[in-house]
Amino acid sequence: MRYFIDTNIFLFLSLEQDELEQNVRTILDDYENEFIMSGESVREILMLIKNGKIKARNLNSYTDIKSLLEEHRIEVRYMNESHLRTFGDLGQAPNHSDPADLMIIAQAISENVPIISSDAKFAFYTKQGLRLISNNR
């Protein structure tokens, strides 16, 4: 099965594995599953590194991100016209205006691929077609 990985799940997978629930860990450990991460997530992580919000030996540059993506068998998916159309039609959750989150959600909805996330605000978008697997730690 294919799964979108939200930014926070990638960071937990790479830096803090104890933040992953057992059901999420089971999905991530299954070699038959395929994983996708949005290019928006890569951009978000690069900004967190540049702003000093991520300080880890194994995550300091794009090269480090790319290496971790390969290690965890995660394909990066960049936005296309279908994603942008869904993004434009997406109704926003109250007090949720993060454009990166909205693009990631739009990509998952457009491709009809479940997303694994720890972000509680993502649940609002299930009414709009988001298939969500929550990591509630």
Burial class of 21 by CB neighbour count within 10 A (0 to 12, 13 to 18, 19+): middle
By three-state DSSP, how is residue 18 classified?
A: helix
Give the mean model confidence (pLDDT) for residues 84-95: 92
- Domain extent, residue 83, equals 2-134
Name the more confident of 117 and 93. 117
Q: For the chain, what is the mean pLDDT?
A: 93
Does pLDDT of 125 surpass 90? Answer: yes
CATH code, domain carrying 72: 3.40.50.1010
Give the mean model confidence (pLDDT) for residues 60-65: 92
Beta strands across the sheet bearing 132-134: 74-77, 34-38, 2-5, 115-117, 132-134
Q: Can you give the pLDDT at residue 69?
A: 95
Quote the number of domains for the chain. 1
How far is residue 22's CA from residue 30's CA, in Å, rounded to a whole number? 12
- Tens of pLDDT, residue by residue over 13-51, are 988 778 899 999 999 999 999 999 999 999 999 999 999
DSSP class of residue 120 equals: G
Q: Can you give the pLDDT at residue 41?
A: 97
Query: How many CB atoms lie under 10 A from the CB of residue 101?
Result: 23
Burial class of 81 by CB neighbour count within 10 A (0 to 12, 13 to 18, 19+): exposed
Q: What is the pTM of this model?
A: 0.92
